[in-house]
Structure 1
Amino acid sequence: MARARAAMTREHGGGTFSQVLVDRLEYRAVRGRDGYAWEADGWIGGDIHRFALATEGEGEFGHAPDEAEVQALYRRAIGPWFNAEAGVRQDLGRGGRRTHAVIGIDGLAPYWFDVSAQAFLSTRGELQTRLEASYDQRITQRLILQPAAEVTLAAQDVPELAVGAGVSEAELGLRLRYEIRREFAPYVGVHRERKFGAAARFARAEGERASATNWVAGVRFWF
């Protein structure tokens, strides 16, 4: 493995590279409410070691984000297809401010599935795990259908954040994008969220729905 990585470094010149990917910047419509969501990731480094900033969140227009987070991560290649990562996550949304330690792994699984698993331990001792997977199905050279799924699991109830022990929340999405250029692609689709168990009860107690389906339209771009 060490020889292979050394060969990889020589092949690419051992240089420093960078990329910013805005995977989702979208409008969401559900029962007359106008909302928004984003997910982006930027990194700088080489083939083995990288420093990354990642952010995601969602909310309603005219209000502060309901959920928002920023992660600062160190990533290290642990094989041709996967990276291990560690760092810190800061929550910024109206749902509550938390600081978490982060460890995780992400990469390309067999059959070209993009997968990610992260564990978060907050300064209050709250432990959560987030699992994500997506797949780009090319219909044509420019038209791409992307199903995606995300599941959040928690070790304990956190009522103020509407988080319940066990499987707390799941999100499913189906987005169809058209690559005007490789670096720029508008899309449309549907996104569904659902809370389970105690998380659903906490949400209803706050006057919120435990599940929602959104029609979405947005843009994906990178540079």
Structure 2
Amino acid sequence: MNLRRRREPASPGIGVVAPAESLRAPIWDRPVPGVGRAPLVWLLGVHGGSGATTLAHVLAPAADARGQWPGGFERESPYVVLVARETISGLTRAHDLLRQHHANLAGPSLVLGLITVAARPGRVPPEIRRYRDVVGSLAGRVWQVPWFEEWTLVESEALPVWSPGDPVAMRKRRMDPLDEVPVEIGELGVDLVAAIRTCIGTPGAGEARP
């Protein structure tokens, strides 16, 4: 499965109902801990095992928000991308947090979109594809990351890292995802940086709110 990008969905704000308080992610009341650098974008894993920690390692501009909305403290980026596994439960959790954001209950964060991570190799079941489209309509942008079997066999620290300015590999060339950044990850990184630049250059952009 290739990383595919969909943009400009219909306006999602009308009729969005805030989730119950028990279904909301908390907001950090201090700077996000454990981050040694100021990231361009936060990856908010909406559930355990979403893949946010791994993606935060392989994407140099990103950092793991550790399951909570950033609080907007000094020097912290306001930009957030939600991360969920392509399962019904994972997408439901993403839906909850997107509704929280649209209800202005997620602090000062600006949601750039949603990354869904394959839960298994092979084709995505049609039920998951349909639900992903429904949830994605609230996200603004949706990026889909395929299954990398090799990534399951090592710790995140052993994976290659993409940085802005790095060339994106050719799709037709075979590569080892433990030695080189997969083309889908390079394209994701380029997209995220471009989305942030668009937001910086367009006041109010990036706020997927009513």
TM-score scaled to structure 1, two decimals? Answer: 0.28
Larger relative contact order (Cα-Cα within 8 Å, sequence gap ≥ 6):
2
Please tell me whether Structure 1 or Structure 2 has the larger radius of gyration of its CA atoms: 1
Q: Which has the higher strand share?
A: 1
